[in-house]
Amino acid sequence: MKFADRINRLGTETAFAVSAEATAFASQGNKVYPFHLGDLNLKTPANVLAAGIKAMQDGRTNYCPNAGVAQLREILADDISASRKTPYSMENVAIQPGGKPTISKFFLVMMNPGDEVLYPNPGYPIYESQIEFHGGIAIPYSYIEGKNNFDIDTDMLESRITPKTRLLVLNDLQNPTGAECSPAELEKIAEIVLKHDLYVLCDEAYFDIRYEGTSNSLVSLPGMAERCVILHTFSKKFAMTGWRLGATIGPKEIIELIIKLNVNEESCSNHFVQYAAIEGLTGDQTETQQILATLKDRRDLAVDLLNDIEGIRCIRPNATFYLYPNVTGAMKKTGLTDYDDFRRTALHETGVSFCTRLHFGRPLEGEDQYYIRMAYSGIEPAEIKEGLDKFKAFIEG
Ligand code: PLP
């Protein structure tokens, strides 16, 4: 069989392989502590679920407009306008079957083969995959570990700009580090974007998963709304990962082309799910708030336990449901120098399953610190405690 050349450039989420390994290990009768999952084990709020069921019973089971149900587009535009302090209307919104489709559609509309695209590394691996799949050149930029946050290495970012650089991917708030950009960092990025005439994919999948304060967006800065496309998703805030609903929000001219891609790719997003999303945005927020409270408790428990392990240093991110502990000292103590050896040995000896830095892009030259990613969205507090106690014993010997 002969396949298209481009398919050789398609990457994947290798974190799914970690899931498969953990499942295989569990099926042999072993206890697994699932810190690898970027999914929630929490229920979709009952009022959101009920609205989805009602919409199905009401017959919202046929096609709907390619851009999405008008009422949802309007409500979402108002919601995003308020939280980003930037005026958007329904013409700026294209509903999508999840957050992820915005990534490939953004590159299809904005990137020519040979264009260079700056993307975060460590970062969500689909950026690298989609840039290269569509013929672009993926140029990584990195983060610097601070005391309470990972900061974008803006010097590295700017130094990698060439006349071929057209686009920037900004994931704020970030998977896997939990980092958020400070107002000064956002200003610096806006300055770079204007100076070098860039367009930006603002992946804001975790914008609403924060425990204190309010999230900031690059689009709120002068001149940015015209250059930024927001990836929005209902997956995280409403624990709706399997419902598949999100949106692309940006300049009208770009959104019109994205809607044309919707027509070509899926006709429309799932019709009745959009009524569940309307309830999520406008209805009772009690259970939605409870999701955040539950995640915050898990975060605090996991961070405290990790920082109590010799050779581990873990920042307490204010957002996302990921931790990105520095495990350089811990790996040294176990005598394991290879990421995969460390991960597999920990799984087999303790049942604790996690992803490593390797699952978030090709490591950059000169990296000398080691990190793992632990998600606390799919694991109960009792298991966090039991698992991390075993992990501590494994590392401290
Ligand atoms: N962007 C980031 C940074 C993510 O971590 C994820 C999912 O984990 C997505 C986008 C995709 O979200 P969705 O599941 O809504 O497609």
Per-run averaged pLDDT (10 residues), the chain, 397 residues: 95 89 96 94 98 98 98 98 97 98 98 98 96 98 95 97 98 97 97 98 98 96 98 97 98 98 98 98 97 98 98 97 98 96 98 97 93 98 98 97
Model pLDDT, residue 14: 85
Model pLDDT, residue 319: 95
* Residue 30 Ramachandran class (φ > 0 left, ψ -120 to 50 alpha, else beta): beta
Ligand 1 centroid–CA 90 distance in Å is 23
Model pLDDT, residue 13: 87
Q: Is the CB of 122 under 6 A from ligand 1?
A: no
Ligand 1 centroid–CA 334 distance in Å is 33
Atom of ligand 1 nearest to the CA of 233: 15
Cβ contacts of 151-154, under 8 Å, gap ≥ 24: 151/179, 151/182, 151/185, 152/120, 152/179, 152/181, 152/185, 152/189, 154/185, 154/188, 154/189, 154/192
Ligand 1 centroid–CA 103 distance in Å is 10
The one-letter amino acid at 117: V
Q: Is the CB of 248 under 6 A from ligand 1?
A: no
Cβ contacts of 5-9, under 8 Å, gap ≥ 24: 6/133, 6/134, 6/135, 9/132, 9/133, 9/135
Q: Is the CB of 215 under 6 A from ligand 1?
A: no
Model pLDDT, residue 18: 94
Model pLDDT, residue 37: 86
Output the residue whose Cα is nearest ligand 1's atom 13: 99
Residues in CB range of 354: below 8 A, 6 or more apart: 18, 35, 36, 343, 346, 372, 373, 374
If one residue of 175, 202, 229, 234 were mutated to test the ligand 1 pocket, choosing by the most ligand atoms within 8 A of its CB, it would be: 175
Q: Is the CB of 100 under 6 A from ligand 1?
A: yes
CB 176 within 8 A of CB 209: no
- Helix, strand, coil percentages in the chain from 3-state DSSP, rounded to 5: 45, 15, 40
